[in-house]
Amino acid sequence: MCRRLYGLTLFSMSDLAARLLAHIREAVLFPRPGLGLLAVSGGADSVALLDLVSIVAPEVGLELAVAHVDHGIHPESSAVAARVRDLAAAYGLPACGRTLGLGPDASETRAREHRYRALRELQQELGADYLVTAHHADDQIETVLFRFLRGSAPAGLAGITGLGPDGLVRPLLPFRRAELEEWLSFRYPNPAIRPPVFQDPANRDPRHDRSWLRERVLPLLRERFGEALDANLRNAQRHAERDRDAWASLLRVLPELDFRWEALGVDVARAPLRTYDKALSETLLRAVAREAGCVLGPGRAAKLRDLVERGPSGRVLELGAGWHAETAFDRLRIQRAGHTAPESEAWGATNQGSVRWGGWQFSWRAEPAGAAVRGGLTTWVPPGVGEIRAAASGDRIFPLGGVGRRSVSRLLMEARVPRSERLAYPVLSRGQSLLWVPAVCRAAQIVPRPGEASLRIDAHRA
């Protein structure tokens, strides 16, 4: 509900904030309670984000913090950063920030890349579950037009997604810029107490492509095509979005593809992709990559199809932007590059406990020993402290029921663990003795007899 008073739209809680809450719930933008880091630039859009999300946060179990990135482009940037800190304090929220010092000649692409890198660093430092940005419907319109002019594939015309990788959330996509500005006017009807809003000159600088589209091109198109232009561009975006979603759904309903999520990406069966024609195979591979968060152009999609058809197991193809593809026996994996194993973790210091190590969760409890088996995800050991660490290239183990020592790397290969995972695969040890490679091999050493007092250890991929 809303009404007009002296030319100003007045919203009730049942309108914009309630619509936002309904959208968050319908789209499942925050699937679990946690800490949301709000990216606040100081512009009207991000100030509206701060105000609206602070209203609905208790309804979806969110705690909030504010992040600001000072690009060092505009001479007033340090003053803007100070105002954002004050604004966060007024809402009772902690604030953090980064100063980049990019200089006045930085391009919009460079500024965006450095901004997101800084925001991700802040998200990691705070342990925030979500990074929340203020992208809205007008940004979506500009993005669709910009990508069309650059020759984007249909999936690119689907525009900005509400959910991105690593907890990135854009909750304001259904709302227009004017709605957000009117909301701030309603929330702060007295201009004297309204939060100062920074009007970034770069947003109107025609040297930047998006600013040129916003300030020059879109006004001309609206003059020619009227109010229908924005609706038509949004309809085109929705059509492309439905098409993109249909390809994502197809991955899950073709049983021969055996599409799977992994801790660092996705994998899919290679054999059926070899039987499809070129257009279908490449389109499906681009859909597989998108599910991981990797965007492939036509050139890399063709190279990826060639890898699927002819690449031996263990072959790697760099996909750019921190992603790579790997042939792993009869499967293709797409995952983030540069993964390293986490530090070692202790287990068994108490009679019951759990610890997360990389993409694995380990739990233990005191229990009479069961029958030991060579493989599986459960084993028993005598009480005592041990360590979880990454498998090392020289590790060897005496397999339960086997003869002599075996190389762990060879056992991992025989268990069809992909090459890229082998040096970041967990092993459990106690002192100098290697006890267990989960799901691969139990050592013949330190095995309690059935019924003896023991620690039961369970492993599963988190």
Mean predicted lDDT score pLDDT of the chain: 90
Q: Tens digits of per-residue pLDDT, 415-451?
A: 988 877 887 899 999 998 999 999 999 999 999 999 9
What local confidence, expressed as pLDDT, does residue 242 receive? 95
Query: In angstroms, rounded to a whole number, what is the distance separating the alpha carbons of residues 181 and 297?
Result: 37
What pLDDT, on a 0 to 100 scale, did the predictor assign at position 340? 65
User: Which pLDDT band holds residue 370 (cuts at 50, 70, 90)?
Assistant: very high
User: What confidence tens digit (pLDDT) does each residue in 11-64 have?
Assistant: 444 589 999 999 999 999 999 999 999 999 999 999 999 999 999 999 999 999
Q: What is the pLDDT of residues 238-248, one digit of tens each?
A: 999 999 999 99
pLDDT at 402 over 80: yes
Question: Could you tell me what percent of the chain has a pLDDT over 90?
Answer: 70
In this prediction, residues 248-265 reach a mean pLDDT of 89
pLDDT at 12: 44
**HEC profile of the chain:** CEEEECCEEEECCCCHHHHHHHHHHHHCCCCCCEEEEEECCCCHHHHHHHHHHHHHHHHHCEEEEEEEEECCCCCCHHHHHHHHHHHHHHCCCCEEEEECCCCCCCCHHHHHHHHHHHHHHHHHHHCCCEEECCCCHHHHHHHHHHHHHCCCCHHHHHCCCCECHHHEECCCCCCCHHHHHHHHHHHCCCHHHCCCCCCCHHHHCCCCHHHHHHHHHHHHHHHHHCCHHHHHHHHHHHHHHHHHHHHHHHHHHCHHHCCEECCCEEEEECHHHHHCCHHHHHHHHHHHHHHHCCCCCHHHHHHHHHHHHHCCCCCEEEEECCEEEEEECCEEEEEECCCCCCCCEEECCCCEEEEEECCEEEEEEEEECCCCCCCCCEEEECCCCEEEEECCCCCEECECCCCCCEEHHHHHHHCCCCHHHHCCCEEEEECCEEEEECCCEEECCCCCCCCCEEEEEEEEEC
Q: CB–CB of 359/261 below 8 Å? A: no
Render pLDDT for 143-177 as a digit per residue (tens, 0 to 9): 999 999 999 888 899 999 999 888 999 999 999 99
When pLDDT is cut at 50, 70 and 90, the band that residue 339 belongs to is low
**pLDDT at position 3:** 37
What the block records as the tokens of 312 is 């031996």
All structural domains of the chain, each given as residue ranges with its CATH number in brackets, are: 2-235 (3.40.50.620), 261-336 (3.30.465.60), 345-461 (no CATH)
